[in-house]
Chains A and B, each alone.
Chain A
Amino acid sequence: MIAVAPAVPAPRRLTYRQIYPYLLIAPSLTVFALVLVYPFVDGVRISFFQDTLMSQSRPFVGFDNYRVVFQIPQLGTVMRVSLTWALGSVVGEAILGMVVALMLNRAFRGRGFFRSLLVVPWVMPAVVTAVIWRWLYHSEFGVVNQVFGPLGLFPDKENWLGDPNTALWAVMVANIWRGFPFWMIMILAGLQAIEPELYEAARVDGARAWQLFRYITLPNLRIVLTITSILSFVGNFNNFTLVYALTEGGPVDSTKILPIFIWETAFKFTRFGEAAAMATFFAVLMAMLILVYARTLRLRSREV
């Protein structure tokens, strides 16, 4: 046995070589600290104060803002609209994205070209998307009504974005059109990672097309689909631009999703404390989803 000498702590001094890698990431970290970490912490702080921006004194009010916020009758509607919006968008985008990805995952000439064309709705400015769809949905001169009219559907010139019964769905259609390419690209990447031998073997065994999809494609896409669902849900739940530019949350709150509600509380009604309380609550909801995302990523790196 070798006697282990008691560890004598060697005087440790950081050398230039050791801190060099940190020096290189320091500028980026500074930006993150200033624009992400600090505002986040400050937001939580503001949620415990009565803050109207205009007022000079901002007394500490504990959980009062939270109490007020959870008693706003509108909040129930806002949460319902937000969930319908996010879930509906995710499901619509997923189905469309899957169908198009399967169509593009065959060998044919111009495949890359079509893939690029189909990504275009996703890279365009969201505000331009809103302009286009406002025009398509125009009750008097819009293409949508001019197509539906002759078909005998909605003969009374539906005002799609102005009617509380249709506005949410109309915005969702525009959003699905804009968002499906993301699903398409993710699924295509997943499809290309599946070994062709799996399909060949199954075909030799006499499997039909839908069986191939059900027993080979879907199980192999499981992780890609999980990751994309979370990214897509969080993205849609955080959406502000498309909805706001199309309807500003109206008519009568029918498209008022949580980010719009928070933004209005702060910047239209200047009730910063209450808005910050809602935002903190919102952050907790998102954090739970992000934890699921982190677990899925870990799971996958273990499988690989």
Chain B
Amino acid sequence: MTARLQRRGVAWLLNGTTVVFTALVLFPFYWLLASSLETPDQLFRIPAVLVPTAPTFDNFDRLLHSSFPHWFQNSAVIASATTLLALTLAALAAYSFSRFTFRGNRELTTMLLFVQLFPVAVVVIPLFILWTNLRLTNTYWSLIVTYLVFGLPISTWLLIGFFNAVPVELEEAAMIDGASRLGALWRVTLPLCVPGLAATAIYVFLLAWNEYFFALTFMNSTDMRTIPVGLTSFFAEHSVDWGLVMAGSVVASLPVVILFGLLSRYFVQGLTSGAVKG
């Protein structure tokens, strides 16, 4: 009896710790949101106020009249195009890896795992020179193509897993009915993998949406900045407009929160699949 009570007590203690810990981990996000709703004089108060007393969308309004909407558009176009291209190329490659035995199949899929370990500082200099020679710096393409190479491996890995789960017999039936191979992939296999495709798309989209290093290097003109580069450029000003930076960060986080909230389960699976499946 006492042992059971004791075990229950421990369980409650651990559950309580989990809740408190989670709250602590999420506090910085709450603080970002709360700060974005405050005017400058409310922001610079000691002691800081935990709940905004007079929340205002003032900062967001000013954000609309800065270069930010332009940066948002750049980020949205680049991330969407990267996603679309990565999914198309990865679907073709994953289909090949999943359905055919050919020389190099195993070696190539294993090599995909190593791309995520590739030091970006090593390729950034030659890539910058390449884009400069091709007159592609300050264009969407320089980033789309660069992000593609980092989005493709994980997409291909995830899609191989999803395709393997679809019985080949279904495709064969479609092909007997006159569909071509790619027709069978398009009409039979892909529709069955929609949740997997969505998760993969979100993965690539967020990768491109969050990226900073290459965007900072390839986009020199103010107009071509992506959101992350734009946000840090606020800190280069003589005095930092904190309200504006906070509001911008909230907007930058919105797509991430929404997309992650929709498919966090698949996302977490994807995170471990590359390394754990080996």
Contact = CB atoms under 8 A, between A and B. Distances in A.
Interface of A: 18, 20-22, 24-25, 27-28, 31-32, 34-36, 38-40, 42-43, 46, 53, 100, 103-104, 106, 108, 112, 114-121, 123-128, 130-136, 140-141, 143, 146, 177, 182, 185-186, 189-190, 224, 227-228, 231, 234, 237-238, 240-241, 244-245, 258-259, 262-263, 266-267, 272, 275-276, 279-280, 282-283, 286, 289-290, 293-294, 297, 300-301
A123 B22 contact: no
B73 interface: no
Main secondary structure of the interface of B (DSSP, over half): helix
Given A21-B100, A120-B26, A283-B122, A135 B242 contact: yes
Interface string B247-278: 01100110011001000110110011001101
Sort A-B residue pairs by CB-CB distance and give the 9 closest, nearest first: A24-B96, A39-B126, A21-B100, A127-B228, A42-B126, A125-B210, A116-B264, A35-B149, A259-B121
A231 B31 CA distance: 31
Contact of B21 (A100, A116, A245, A283): A100
Interface residues of B, number: 89
A18 B216 CA distance: 43
A293 B119 CA distance: 15
B276 A128 contact: no
A29 to B, nearest CB: 8
A32 B149 contact: yes
* Most interface-central of A28, A116, A126 (chain B CB within 10 A): A28
Nearest to A128: B249
Given A133-B28, A238-B120, 19 more contacts: A24-B95, A31-B149, A35-B127, A35-B145, A38-B126, A42-B126, A100-B21, A108-B11, A114-B22, A117-B26, A120-B26, A120-B29, A125-B227, A127-B210, A128-B253, A135-B32, A177-B28, A227-B276, A241-B228
Contacts of B15: 108
B123 A258 contact: no
A28 B92 contact: yes
A263 B28 contact: no
B146 interface: yes
